[in-house]
């Protein structure tokens, strides 16, 4: 309906869901997987909200407009589980979620996804952009461990 995915787009989230990896995300970053949803510690971090998680449908849907109800429910259920796990394990004071559609809505990956951020007093989340350099696997690992331990 309102699609902006360029021709020949190689979806990094589909690659991850299919068992692949790339320079930003590996299988080791996955903290939760169901038949229809996948959650992983993101490599692009905001300065004061490190260890945030992306939740995606395992099937390719570009945005909210294309998302079937069953996949939307699965993603939302996973978002809730991740939010509780973050709140219990990150020593944060709250959680925020974000979801973007189309370029004007700040969508820059052409696969529906929901950000789940740990929140802290005065963290300035909505007035900052992600850090220019992606988090390394070593930087992501402690967050992955915390979430997996809680979710297992």
112 in any annotated domain? yes
Domain that holds residue 100: 12-151
User: Which CATH number goes with the domain that contains 77?
Assistant: 3.30.428.10
Q: What is the pLDDT of residues 66-121, one digit of tens each?
A: 999 999 999 999 999 999 999 999 999 999 999 999 999 989 999 999 999 999 99
Write down the mean pLDDT value for the chain.
Answer: 96
From the DSSP assignment, how many helices (H) and strands (E) are in the chain?
3, 5
65 in any annotated domain? yes
Portion of the chain with pLDDT greater than 70, in percent = 100
What secondary structure letter does DSSP report for 126? G
6 in any annotated domain? no
85 in any annotated domain? yes
Name which of 60, 65, 10, 13 is nearest 39 in CA terms: 13
Work out how many domains the chain is built from and give that number: 1
pLDDT above 80 (res 1): no
1 in any annotated domain? no
Neighbouring C-beta atoms of residue 133, cutoff 10 Å: 9
């Amino acid at each position: 309906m309102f699609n902006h995915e360029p021709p020949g787009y190689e979806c990094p989230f589909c690659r991850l869901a299919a068992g692949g990896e790339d320079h930003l995300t590996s299988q080791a970053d996955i903290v939760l997987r169901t038949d229809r949803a996948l959650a992983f510690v993101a490599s692009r971090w905001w300065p004061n909200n490190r260890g945030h998680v992306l939740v995606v449908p395992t099937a390719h849907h570009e945005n909210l407009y294309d998302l079937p109800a069953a996949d939307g429910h699965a993603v939302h259920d996973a978002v809730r589980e991740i939010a509780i796990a973050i709140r219990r394990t990150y020593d944060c004071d709250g959680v925020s979620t974000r979801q973007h559609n189309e370029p004007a809505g700040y969508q820059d990956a052409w696969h529906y996804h929901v950000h789940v951020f740990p929140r802290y007093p005065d963290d300035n989340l909505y007035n900052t952009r992600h850090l220019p350099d992606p988090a390394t696997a070593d930087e992501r690992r402690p967050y992955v461990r915390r979430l997996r331990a809680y979710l297992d």
